[in-house]
Amino acid sequence: MSEFVQNVRLWFGPERLRGDGGTPDYRFSLANERTFLAWLRTALALIGGGFAVDQFLPDLRWGWRVGLALALLAAGVLCALRAINHMVRCERAMRRGEDLPVSRFPAVLSLVIAVVAVAMVVVVLFGWAG
């Protein structure tokens, strides 16, 4: 838990990373930043999808509509938080000359999105109205 708290502190104080190890090749730091931005685009798309489900499917049963919308919104929030945490962890590993951290988060996010997509297919095929 203390490593997580340390990482959260680095989210808001990235200058602290400079004192941790050596400076990596700037191309790797820029690639890390591009990956971070890609995760943020994914988070924004999930959040937008959550709002779209809620706003544009008024005929869908309330429980289904809210459930699907909240699943997409929660996935977007988790994706955004995971993006910054992963970026900081990767930058720290590069500065220390360590292997980059691995994560199960992409697999979990993929499964959540797949479950929501299957639920949406069911809704489209059977047209469950409220």
Distances from the Cα of 91 to the Cα of 29, 84, 121, angstroms: 7, 11, 39
pLDDT of residue 46 exceeding 90: yes
Query: Tokens for 74?
Result: 């929660």
pLDDT of amino acid 83 = 94
Percentage of residues in the chain having pLDDT higher than 90: 52
For residue 68, how far is the Cα from the chain centroid? 17
95 contacts 22 by C-beta, under 8 angstroms: yes
Three-state DSSP class for residue 121: helix
Query: Tokens for 119?
Result: 């639920």
Min mean pLDDT across 42-46, 108-112, 118-122, 126-130 is at 126-130
Confidence grade of residue 1 (pLDDT, cut at 50, 70, 90): low
pLDDT of residue 14 exceeding 60: yes
For residue 97, the 8-state DSSP code is: T
Among 77, 82, 67, smallest CA distance to 118 is for 67
Q: CA 28 to CA 117: how far, in whole Å?
A: 34
Confidence grade of residue 94 (pLDDT, cut at 50, 70, 90): very high
pLDDT of residue 57 exceeding 80: yes
